[in-house]
């Protein structure tokens, strides 16, 4: 049985005992007072795993020191001279063990720990949200705003589904409203209801296909559809395309038929419906998707209420107006239950434009969502300050919520497009607009903002706001050369990147040095020596924790100094020093001998 195989059980015992000790410590320690009951157990478990990950290197060094000291005891009974081939054999086996442990440590640090840290932040944030919703619900009930109070209570129940406090508050609000209104209020629901984007169809067709659909619609006397497809074909055709003239002829013919349509109806209700349908279609053609949506939405309900029938024109253009509206507005009810599911908070970054101006962006909370195959995010408390080249404020505004998704520009690149206006799904005139605090943004600037950054960079900026030390290594590598564009100092990311890359080498150096100590203080036949080890063994992990943390601290100081002195290529110098250190401790091990 090789020395490495003999050491492995001791090393595994260190890890198992370390994990158990971490669990015991977190379960004995009091949980944060801010946590609500559903999150306490997971919070303790995740904290225990993070504690174990933090001390994994020290447990590894302690296990190597004790394990090899035990295994070297018998091997050292034979004479060993300096630079003996036996030491090379020992080192080969040890290196395989060390590399396995270091690789596992990297997986824990870069794959597991960031996810656990993010979950802990979520638990604390959602606990704070729960208490805030309870407070808002109580305040709203006291002031008689029962709708707001009910929404707050339901939001609290979204976080803690079996909360007796939230259930009692909700029941109290509903009975208070019932006393006021003289009846029991109906149960309200506030689902996160994103806009369902249904492709209108015409956008996926070419000019010839649209003309064929126009002809088909004319044959079926569906003049609204014929005009819509003809205008789509006309807008897509180039000026030299003869189909452009044909499309305009079809559109003119269909429009004439539409204009004469009301004369075909005798019933006044049918005339009114047709007139409203024409008004909605005209609004859609003029680009007023919001007005068109309300017209067709009201028409759809009115037609159903008459005799339960369906008007295909109304249904079709309601979908088209919805899709057009989704490019400029979103619905207020989409955000009603977004806050409990926020994954990031208090995100701040800057963007510098080629003309010398700059944007300062702050977002209080971000909720990510995927709907109809499209990634989007709701930005709570979106605030933007635009500075001119001379540093003066051009405008400063804030909106309760904004909606962000990827928009492809003329250059083919995707950028974050932020919709700043929200409207009611049912009531025309109920609108959320940015609150201008200073300056005067244009109408377009207060409706939509396209952030001057690649869409993928937004996720990196959010990650950096959580803390550079919590970023994954891959994100740091992607972000480091662009960090200063968004207000994050590059040298801090360089220090973090080099520290992360140096960690495996530092652990290898410490592990080989522990191998040297294990040889020097190996267990022989001297019983007094064994007794001394029995007393010292419990202290090994604590001594190793101190040693590892000290080395990490000193290494970061040295790395920080080198990055400042040699900002261009600091990593080459640092890696050279680390390789020299690893070679030095390896040579030190080869230089051992038996007494």
Cα–Cα distance between 307 and 81 in angstroms, integer? 103
The three-state (H, E, C) secondary structure of 290-302, written as one string: HHHHHHHHHHHHH
Question: Has residue 330 got a pLDDT over 70?
Answer: yes
| CA distances, 528 to each of 379, 398, 523 (Å) | 68, 74, 10
What per-residue confidence (pLDDT) applies to 272? 76
Out of 48-52, 74-78, 559-563, least confident range: 74-78
What per-residue confidence (pLDDT) applies to 185? 40
User: Residue 83 corresponds to which tokens in the numbers above?
Assistant: 């630079």
Q: What are phi and psi of 432, to 5 degrees?
A: -100, 125
Q: Are 395 and 386 in contact (CB under 8 A)?
A: yes
Is residue 191 helix, strand or coil? coil
Cα–Cα distance between 403 and 422 in angstroms, integer? 9
Whether the full predicted model's pTM is greater than 0.85, yes or no, is no
* Number of alpha carbons in the 13 Å side-chain half-sphere of residue 301: 6
Place of tokens 């509903």: 174
**Mean pLDDT on 227-233:** 77
Angle at 467 between CA 356 and CA 51, to 5 degrees: 170
Q: What are phi and psi of 301, to 5 degrees?
A: -70, -40
Q: Are 231 and 285 in contact (CB under 8 A)?
A: yes
Cα 118 vs. chain centroid, distance in angstroms? 10
Select from 480, 486, 475 the least CA-distant residue to 563. Answer: 480
What per-residue confidence (pLDDT) applies to 200? 44
Rounded to a whole number of angstroms, the CA Rg of the chain reads 34
What per-residue confidence (pLDDT) applies to 193? 44
Categorize the per-residue pLDDT at 281 as very low, low, confident or very high, splitting at 50, 70 and 90. Answer: confident
> CB under 8 Å to 255, separation ≥6 — which residues?
223, 227
Q: In this predicted model, which residue has the larger pLDDT, 46 or 141?
A: 46
Strands 330-331 and 422-423: parallel
**Mean pLDDT on 301-308:** 73
Q: List for the chain the helix, strand, coil content (%; round to 5).
A: 65, 10, 25
pLDDT tens string 341-360: 888 889 999 998 888 889 99
Cα–Cα distance between 161 and 132 in angstroms, integer? 16
Cα–Cα distance between 482 and 286 in angstroms, integer? 41
77-80 long-range Cβ contacts below 8 angstroms, 24+ apart: 78/594, 79/594, 80/592, 80/593, 80/594
Q: Are 517 and 65 in contact (CB under 8 A)?
A: yes
Q: What are phi and psi of 328, to 5 degrees?
A: -130, -20
What per-residue confidence (pLDDT) applies to 327? 87
**Mean pLDDT on 94-108:** 92
Out of 71-85, 294-308, 340-354, 455-469, least confident range: 71-85
* Number of alpha carbons in the 13 Å side-chain half-sphere of residue 556: 11
Q: Where are the alpha helices (DSSP H) in 405-489?
A: 455-465, 473-479
Categorize the per-residue pLDDT at 455 as very low, low, confident or very high, splitting at 50, 70 and 90. Answer: very high
Q: What is the mean pLDDT of the chain?
A: 83
Select from 263, 258, 252 the least CA-distant residue to 280. Answer: 258
Q: Are 62 and 538 in contact (CB under 8 A)?
A: no
Cα–Cα distance between 119 and 52 in angstroms, integer? 16
Cα torsion at 120, 123, 127, 130 (round to 10°)?
150
> CB under 8 Å to 113, separation ≥6 — which residues?
50, 53
What per-residue confidence (pLDDT) applies to 199? 38
Categorize the per-residue pLDDT at 458 as very low, low, confident or very high, splitting at 50, 70 and 90. Answer: very high
Sign of CA dihedral 531, 533, 539, 541: negative
Place of tokens 């294990």: 518
* Number of alpha carbons in the 13 Å side-chain half-sphere of residue 451: 31
Tell me the DSSP string of 306-342: HHS---HHHHHHHHHHHHHHTTT-EEGGGGTTTGGG-
Cα–Cα distance between 296 and 291 in angstroms, integer? 9
What per-residue confidence (pLDDT) applies to 595? 58
pLDDT tens string 165-205: 999 998 888 888 877 765 444 444 444 444 443 334 445 57
Cα torsion at 426, 430, 433, 438 (round to 10°)?
-170
Question: Has residue 259 got a pLDDT over 70?
Answer: no
What per-residue confidence (pLDDT) applies to 313? 74
Out of 74-78, 247-251, 302-306, 340-344, least confident range: 74-78
**Mean pLDDT on 377-388:** 94
**Mean pLDDT on 204-209:** 73
Q: Are 237 and 251 in contact (CB under 8 A)?
A: no
What per-residue confidence (pLDDT) applies to 532? 59
Categorize the per-residue pLDDT at 76 as very low, low, confident or very high, splitting at 50, 70 and 90. Answer: low
Question: Has residue 453 got a pLDDT over 50?
Answer: yes
Categorize the per-residue pLDDT at 416 as very low, low, confident or very high, splitting at 50, 70 and 90. Answer: very high
Beta bridge partners of 385: 360, 396
pLDDT tens string 506-536: 999 999 998 888 888 776 655 445 555 666 6
What per-residue confidence (pLDDT) applies to 77? 59
Question: Has residue 109 got a pLDDT over 60?
Answer: yes
Cα–Cα distance between 180 and 145 in angstroms, integer? 11
Q: Are 254 and 281 in contact (CB under 8 A)?
A: no
401: left (phi over 0), alpha (psi -120 to 50) or beta: beta
Categorize the per-residue pLDDT at 74 as very low, low, confident or very high, splitting at 50, 70 and 90. Answer: low
Q: Packing angle between helix 207-219 and helix 223-236, nearest 10 degrees? A: 160
Question: Has residue 412 got a pLDDT over 50?
Answer: yes
Q: In this predicted model, which residue has the larger pLDDT, 403 or 192?
A: 403
């Amino acid at each position: 049985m090789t020395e490495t195989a003999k050491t492995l059980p001791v090393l595994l015992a260190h890890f198992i005992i370390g994990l158990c000790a971490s669990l015991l410590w977190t379960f004995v320690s009091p949980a944060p007072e801010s946590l609500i009951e559903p999150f306490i157990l997971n919070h303790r478990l995740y904290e225990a795993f993070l504690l174990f990950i933090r001390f994994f290197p020290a447990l590894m060094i302690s296990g190597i020191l004790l394990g090899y000291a035990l295994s070297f005891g018998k091997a050292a009974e034979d004479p060993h001279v300096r630079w003996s081939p036996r030491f090379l054999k020992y080192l080969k086996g040890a290196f395989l063990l060390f590399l396995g442990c270091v690789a596992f440590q990297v997986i824990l640090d870069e794959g597991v720990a960031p996810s656990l840290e993010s979950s802990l932040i979520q638990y604390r944030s959602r606990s704070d949200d729960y208490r805030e919703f309870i407070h808002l619900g109580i305040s709203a009930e006291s002031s008689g705003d029962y709708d707001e109070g009910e929404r707050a209570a339901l939001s609290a129940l979204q976080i803690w589904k079996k909360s007796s406090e939230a259930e009692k508050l909700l029941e109290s609000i509903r009975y208070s409203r019932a006393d006021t209104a003289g009846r029991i209020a109906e149960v309200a629901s506030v689902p996160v209801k994103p806009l369902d984007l249904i492709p209108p169809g015409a956008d996926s067709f070419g000019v010839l296909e649209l003309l064929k659909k126009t002809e088909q619609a004319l044959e079926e006397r569906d003049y609204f559809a014929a005009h819509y497809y003809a205008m789509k074909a006309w807008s897509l055709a180039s000026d030299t395309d003869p189909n452009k003239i044909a499309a305009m002829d079809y559109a003119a013919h269909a429009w004439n038929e539409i204009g004469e349509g009301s004369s075909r109806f005798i019933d006044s209700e049918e005339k009114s419906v047709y007139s409203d349908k024409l008004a909605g279609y005209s609004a859609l053609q003029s680009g007023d998707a919001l007005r068109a949506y309300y017209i067709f939405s009201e028409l759809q309900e009115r037609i159903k209420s008459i005799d339960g029938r369906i008007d295909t024109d109304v249904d079709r253009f309601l979908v088209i107006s919805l899709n057009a509206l989704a490019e400029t507005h979103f619905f207020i009810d989409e955000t009603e239950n977004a806050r409990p599911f926020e994954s990031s908070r208090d995100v701040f970054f800057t963007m510098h434009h080629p003309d010398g101006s700059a944007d300062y962006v702050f977002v209080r909370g971000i909720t990510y969502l995927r709907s109809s195959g499209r990634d989007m995010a709701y930005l709570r408390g979106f605030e933007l300050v635009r500075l001119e080249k001379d540093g003066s404020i051009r405008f400063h505004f804030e909106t309760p919520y904004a909606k962000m998704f990827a928009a492809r520009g003329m250059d083919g690149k995707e950028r974050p497009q932020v919709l700043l206006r929200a409207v009611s799904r049912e009531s025309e005139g109920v609108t959320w607009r940015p609150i201008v605090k200073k300056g005067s943004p244009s109408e377009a600037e207060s409706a939509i903002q396209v952030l001057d950054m690649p869409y993928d960079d937004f996720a990196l900026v959010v990650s950096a706001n959580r803390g550079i030390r919590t970023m994954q290594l891959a994100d740091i590598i992607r972000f480091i050369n662009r960090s200063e564009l968004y207000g994050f100092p590059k040298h801090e990311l360089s220090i973090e990147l080099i520290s992360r890359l140096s960690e495996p080498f530092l652990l290898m150096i410490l592990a080989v040095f522990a191998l040297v100590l294990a040889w020097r203080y190996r267990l022989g036949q001297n019983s007094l020596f064994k007794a001394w080890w029995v007393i010292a063994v419990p202290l090994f992990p604590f001594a190793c924790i101190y040693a590892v943390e000290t080395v990490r601290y000193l290494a970061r100081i040295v790395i920080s100094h080198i990055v400042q002195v040699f900002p261009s290529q600091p990593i080459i110098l640092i890696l050279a020093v680390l390789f020299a250190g690893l070679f030095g401790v390896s040579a030190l091990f080869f230089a051992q001998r038996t007494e």
